[in-house]
Amino acid sequence: MPVRWEFAIFVVPAVIVTVIVIGIFVLLTAGSGEVVEPEVGLTAEAALESPSGDPVGTVTFRQASSGVLIMADVKGLAPGGHAFIIHETGACSPDFGAAGDHFNPTGAEHGLVHPAWKRGESGGHSGDLPNIYAASDGSARADFFTAGITLDTALSHSIFDDDGSAIIVHEHPDAYGETESDTGRRVACGVIEPR
Ligand SMILES: [Cu+2]
Ligand SMILES: [Zn+2]
């Protein structure tokens, strides 16, 4: 019987104290990470223009819980494939070079399908998107869903950082590889604006 009394007096309180200490630690550390849930329902829009300033379509963005739905409605393109990429600066003037490089908040390398990407590694720039394809009349419709960006300014991969972002349509399609393929001139540009 004395063994049972030692158990009650020493072991049980020690277990209770340990559980309380672990509980406090979990509560203190749980709030320290970035909040990863975006504000669902945010929307944005980019009015595309040609290099000569003509309106050539609209790109709409809708924030969902696991990523952003992007809907492109473009006209005035040469028939065939065109790279369609979010660029790091929300500017299309004095020329489309003002949009800068591909939106890349994680410091990744270009390419949606990079042969070097291993499980858990970054798969290309956050702004890299699949190509769009224009029909013979120059129009293109495409919907994309990507988890690489957010419209929520509270998150680090928000396209609404200090200098905003722009969507660029290129002359040629992206080959999706590890080096930026020659996508030619920037044939349409639109500053992405919150709605
Ligand atoms: Cu580009
Ligand atoms: Zn890229």
Express each pLDDT in 30-76 by its tens digit: 544 555 789 999 999 999 999 999 999 999 999 999 999 999 999 99
Class in CATH terms, 43-194: mainly beta
Express each pLDDT in 126-173 by its tens digit: 999 999 999 999 999 999 999 999 999 999 999 999 999 999 999 999
3-class secondary-structure state, position 33: coil
Q: How far is the CA of 127 from the centre of ligand 1 (A)?
A: 9
Q: CB-hemisphere CA count at 13 Å for 64?
A: 10
3-class secondary-structure state, position 96: helix
- Whose atoms come closest to the Cα of 183: which ligand? 1
Provide the residues around ligand 1 (an ion) whose CB is within 5 A: 85, 168
Q: Are 138 and 188 in contact (CB under 8 A)?
A: no
Q: Look-up: residue for tokens 């591909």?
A: 102
